[in-house]
Structure formats: structure tokens, C-alpha cells
Amino acid sequence: MLCFCLESVLSARVRIGVAREIKTDEYRVALTPAGARELVQKGHDVLVEAGAGDGSAMPDDDYVRAGAEIVSLDDVWAKSELLLKVKEPIAAEYPRLREDLVLFTYLHIAADEPLTRALVGSGVRAVAYETVETPDRRLPLLAPMSEIAGRLAPQAGAYFLEKPLGGRGILIGGVPGVQPGRVLVLGGGVVGYNAAVIAIGLGAQVTILDKSIDRMRYLDEILSGRVSTVMSSTLQIETMIGEADLVIGAVLVPGARAPKLVTRAMLKDMKQGSVIVDVAIDQGGCVETARPTTHTDPVYEVDGVIHYCVANMPGGVPVTSTKALTNATLPYVEEIADHGLAEAVARDKALANGVNVLDGKITYEPVAEAHGLDYTPLDDVLPLAAA
């Protein structure tokens, strides 16, 4: 069978490809030269598409010195057995997907049915960074980008609150004698915590809404009581959203569509020129009026409210993001390369949770539910018994 032939190849010397990102305004790369060197030293071949690291200030020469080979667009897709990316494939890349390829990247396919169907139809083995989940519910490969996006959100919101940019004209930190801006953070996870840290640092008055009392106790303790924590509900959001100058959507349901916490009807209660930053936009957004935007064209206005919905916020700081991403993903890349996908997921339940599509079947239930498609448990497709 195909899967066992592929495993026998992957368990030896593996060709690991690093594709150049072609999504609009995406400057990250999936592997640093330092990461490439680690893989080469372990006996693997690293194929880097020409110019893949340019946006992260990591030129081809740095990869060559690390022992990688610089190859063309066609070769990185055709010759790689394990392909590393940052963002999900876009339509132009769908024809390059194939059944003997392991694709390891952020996918967010619960919010993208065309991509889901392309992955299923190609037979590719698609492993999503964002659904790799440890037994204690941590998301180790999503966390670093969530930290960065969370820290960028108040910066972006503060910027677009300026009047010349369409905002209300609020200095988020205020000045002595003038009240600071009010920031409402929806969700107290990694994004929400990091957003609160930066918003506090800017001098804002910060409130976090969350549904977990334990999490709110933790946030209250770690942030030394510098934020208000409030139990989240529809009524509470309706009540508080009108007071906010900046709303940051920071909710996450791993691998599934984000819940719509802010409806269009709520916008009429918001201040004219206030700003929403929907960090959950990769998963469909937690604001009813949210649609993906780019760094080049980041905002739009609905009912007098500025919406910032950049779908790859960490891509705006690619030097930091690329290093943080490689720090997190490299151990899992090594697992797959050293042991093959079947044995790697048998050894590591967290990695098994990352397998979204395998051999033409959807193996991550929230994705199947999001699109009304058939779900097949992973161990029905790939026996999860370590050799």
C-alpha cells in the first residue's frame, strides 16, 4: 500500500522542502537557516525554493552555508517528500498537491471549504500546525504566532484609532488629566493575554471577557489585577461593547470555525470611529461583519466602525515570526523526518491531532463538521501503533 511505501522512504534520508510563500503580503518562511542546518546534520536533504527567506532577511546564501540546496519552484514541490510552509496552499498551488507528499503548515481549513476539497481530492497527507495539541490542551505550534498576533493587535488598534486614519481620535494611553482609551478583549487565551499585556503597557484601561473562571483567576493573578476580568455572555458583550474604543477578538476553538460573538446589530451601539481587531479571522472571524484583509489594505469601515482583519498578522514582523515558528515546529519536523508520519504520530499524540487530511479522508472532526463532509478517525486510516 502507498502509506507503507512512503513510510519506508521517510524513515531513511528524507527530502524536506521549504516553499516560498505566495499569499499576499506573506513574508515569513517555514524554516530558518539554523533549522535547516539541524536537519542536514541529522542526515536529511533540505531543498529551499530560491528566495524563500528573502522576506525574513534570510538570503539563499545563508541556507547554502547551512547545507541546504536552493531549488526552483517546480523542484521544491515535485522533489520534496515532506514540504514545509507557513500559510495554507492557495488556488494556484492546488495542482501541486499529490498523494505521496506530507504537507506541514498552518491550514485553518475549517474556514476554507475549497481548500479542504482540494486536499481531500489530491490524496496529500496534510498536517496542520494549529491543531497539534498536547494532552493538557496546549497548542504548541499555534502559540508563538498567537503571542505575536496578540501583541500586534493593540498596536494596530491604537494606530487606526487616529483621526487621519478614520478612527475616533483617541490616544489609547491618554495623558495626565485625560482618561485613557478602553480596550475590550474577547477571550483570555494566549492571544487575549498577550493583547492585554501590550494594551496595559500602552496605558489603556483593559477588560477581558472569558468563559473560564479558572482562566480569569489566573489572568487576574499573573497581570497583578491590572485588568478587569468579566464572565463572557452575549448580554455582557452587548452591554460593554458600546463603552470600548478598541475591541480585540481573541477567541479560538481549535481547528474549528470561530463563534460569532459580535453581531452587526451590536455595531450600532459602538462609538463612531472605534476599532475592531479580529485576530480570529483565520478561523472565519468572531465578528459577523469581519472579512479577511491584507497588510497592504488592512482596514474597512462598517456602520462607522473600523475593522482590522489581517489574516496573517505575524507576517508583518517576519524576522521575529520566522524564528519563533521554527523554534516551535522543528522538533515535530524532526519527528516526521526521522520516523515517518505513521510512527511519528504513534509516538506523539499531539502530532496525531495535527493530521487533518490523510489519503483522501478528513481525519479531524471539527473540519468535517464545518463543511458537512464525512469524518474518518485517524486510526482507521493510519494504524497508530508504534513499530
Rounded to whole angstroms, how far apart are CA atoms 144 and 254? 15
Each residue of 145-176: pLDDT tens digit? 999 999 999 999 999 999 999 999 999 999 99
User: What are the boundaries of each domain within the chain?
Assistant: 2-131+318-381, 144-311
Query: What would the mean pLDDT of 220-249 be, rounded to a whole number?
Result: 96
Mean model confidence pLDDT for the chain: 94
Query: What would the mean pLDDT of 126-137 be, rounded to a whole number?
Result: 95
User: Given pLDDT bands bounded at 50, 70 and 90, which one contains residue 10?
Assistant: very low
The pairing of strands 15-18 and 45-49 is parallel
Each residue of 78-104: pLDDT tens digit? 999 999 999 999 999 999 999 999 999
Query: What would the mean pLDDT of 125-131 be, rounded to a whole number?
Result: 96
C-alpha grid cell, residue 136: 493538557
Each residue of 303-362: pLDDT tens digit? 999 999 999 999 999 999 999 999 999 999 999 999 999 999 999 999 999 999 999 999
Rounded to whole angstroms, how far apart are CA atoms 352 and 365? 13
Query: What would the mean pLDDT of 268-284 be, rounded to a whole number?
Result: 95
Query: What would the mean pLDDT of 262-279 be, rounded to a whole number?
Result: 97
DSSP line for 81-104: SEEE-SSPP-GGGGGG--TT-EEE
Q: What pLDDT was estimated at residue 384?
A: 56
C-alpha grid cell, residue 290: 469581519
Q: Kindly tell me if the per-residue pLDDT of 107 is higher than 80.
A: yes
Strands (DSSP E) found in 124-274: 125-128, 182-186, 205-210, 228-231, 246-249
Q: What pLDDT was estimated at residue 153?
A: 98
Q: Kindly tell me if the per-residue pLDDT of 387 is higher than 60.
A: no
Q: What pLDDT was estimated at residue 257?
A: 86
**Domain 144-311: which topology?**
Rossmann fold (3.40.50)
Q: Which residue has the cell 487621519?
A: 164
Q: What pLDDT was estimated at residue 276?
A: 98
Q: What pLDDT was estimated at residue 350?
A: 96
Q: What pLDDT was estimated at residue 191?
A: 96
Rounded to whole angstroms, how far apart are CA atoms 258 and 278? 11
Closest to 258 (Cα-Cα) out of 139, 370, 126: 370
Q: Do the domains spanning 2-131+318-381 and 144-311 agree at the CATH topology level? A: yes
Q: What pLDDT was estimated at residue 256?
A: 78
Rounded to whole angstroms, how far apart are CA atoms 295 and 293? 7
Query: What would the mean pLDDT of 56-64 be, rounded to a whole number?
Result: 98
Q: What pLDDT was estimated at residue 11?
A: 46
Rounded to whole angstroms, how far apart are CA atoms 338 and 345? 12
Catalytic positions are 108, 282
What's the distance, Cα to Cα, between the start and end of the chain in Å?
Answer: 17
Q: What pLDDT was estimated at residue 253?
A: 80
**Domain 2-131+318-381: which topology?**
Rossmann fold (3.40.50)
- Whether residue 196 contacts residue 227, with contact meaning beta carbons closer than 8 Å, is answered with yes
Q: What pLDDT was estimated at residue 162?
A: 98
Query: Any idea what DSSP says for residue 188?
Result: -
Dihedral angle, C-alpha 68, 73, 76, 79, nearest 10 °: -130
Collapse the DSSP code of 113 into the 3-class scheme (helix H, G, I; strand E, B; otherwise coil) and give the result.
Answer: helix
Residues 6+ apart with CB under 8 A from 178: 171
Q: Kindly tell me if the per-residue pLDDT of 25 is higher than 70.
A: yes
Q: What pLDDT was estimated at residue 5?
A: 44
Helix or strand holding residue 364 (H, E): none
Query: What would the mean pLDDT of 42-64 be, rounded to a whole number?
Result: 98
> 158-163, long-range: CB within 8 Å, 24+ apart, which pairs?
158/202, 158/246, 160/275, 160/298, 160/299, 160/306, 160/308, 161/245, 161/246, 161/273, 161/274, 161/275, 161/306, 163/273
